A = this chain, B = another copy of it.
């Protein structure tokens, strides 16, 4: 079968690899219907050191179950399933608490001995814990939306949940990438009435306005901060969803959040430290967020995708085949594409 591997920064190749097979009795094999490229894949695409053996890529996919191990009971051959972006056993204390990203037996797609979602088939470890079955009979047009639950929509929802966004609150979303836009959807879903989207790509922020943003701030840095403060009577918003991860975005978040407010970050932090000292202490700011346990949210979000309440699938603005994955990376890195779907 064909699958994408990354060998170094800027060097993604599609190669023929061994077909996956069941290894453990708790495994399933899934034929991927749609995978995608993640904003977080762009970090190694910009910086990965050359390696002789490439890394299998892709941690978001939906597909059809082709085989299940003897101990798998929750999914069956023929089921259409969503794979969250980490493998989890579903039974440990962390999984039961809804923090599957800290599962005691968790694994990562593309990790040692684990397939990636940018490939035609995937062996899914701990299939019962990991996969979510989509009820049969859905419209195929919903596949991008279902795929978004693997990561970006669940991540946006995580940001809102960790930020404890509640009805009537004001929210700033920093970043107009797919996660930021899903953060807008999530903020609206949980009742925010003022949603300020900070981003400078008009096509993306236009989509953000359709998703529920009430204001767009295209300015960055000092000017961006001033604009948000102007929109909020000088106070900032109750919650900031930070979906970038760069130091400047974090700095902006701190400056546009209201006293007593919450910065919920879902952009992978690119700096090991954060300026969060006495000044932030005196303002009673909370810093939260993290890698999203997508598995915890899919049960809640899936019906909303199926009935059209939310349309996170609209963040995909380009569809390619498996052979075009290298071009997909290039387009996303060049910001020509917002999010690229790989149809197998």
Stoichiometry, copies per complex: 2
Binary interface profile of A, 39-50, with partner B (CB < 8 Å = 1, else 0)?
000000000000
Decide: A268 and B286 in contact? CB cutoff 8 A.
no
Q: Which of A8-16, A170-178, A287-295 forms part of the interface with chain B? A: A287-295
Tell whether, in the assembled complex, residue A289 and residue B281 are in contact, meaning their CB atoms are under 8 Å apart: yes
Cβ contacts under 8 Å, A259 to chain B:
94, 99, 102
Tell me, yes or no, whether A283 is within 8 Å of chain B by CB: yes
Q: Which B residues lie within 8 Å of A101 (CB)?
A: 282, 284
Note all chain B residues with C-beta closer than 8 A to A162: 284, 286
Picked from B273, B281, B288, the residue with its CB within 8 Å of the CB of A273 is: B273
CB pair A281–B260 under 8 Å, yes or no, is no
What B residues does A287 contact at CB under 8 A?
276, 286-288
Chain B residues within 8 Å of A274, by CB: 273-274, 276-277
Q: Does A275 interact with chain B (Cβ within 8 Å)?
A: yes
Assess the B284–A99 pair: CB atoms within 8 A: yes
Give the shortest distance, in Å, between A285 (CB) and chain B (any CB). 7
CA distance A271 to B285 in the complex (A): 16
CA–CA, A290 and B287, complex, Å: 12
CB distance from A166 to the nearest CB of B (A): 12
- A275-311 near B? 1/0 per residue, CB < 8 Å: 1111111111111111101000000000000000000
30 A-B pairs within 8 Å (CB atoms) are namely A94-B260, A97-B260, A101-B284, A102-B283, A162-B286, A265-B281, A268-B278, A269-B276, A269-B277, A269-B278, A269-B281, A270-B278, A272-B275, A272-B277, A272-B278, A272-B279, A273-B276, A276-B276, A281-B289, A281-B291, A282-B290, A282-B291, A284-B289, A284-B290, A284-B291, A284-B293, A286-B286, A286-B287, A286-B288, A287-B288
Q: Which 9 A-B pairs have the closest CB atoms?
A: A284-B290, A272-B277, A102-B259, A286-B288, A99-B260, A287-B287, A269-B277, A273-B273, A281-B290
A contact set with B: CB distance below 8 Å: 94, 97, 99, 101-102, 162, 259-260, 265, 268-291, 293
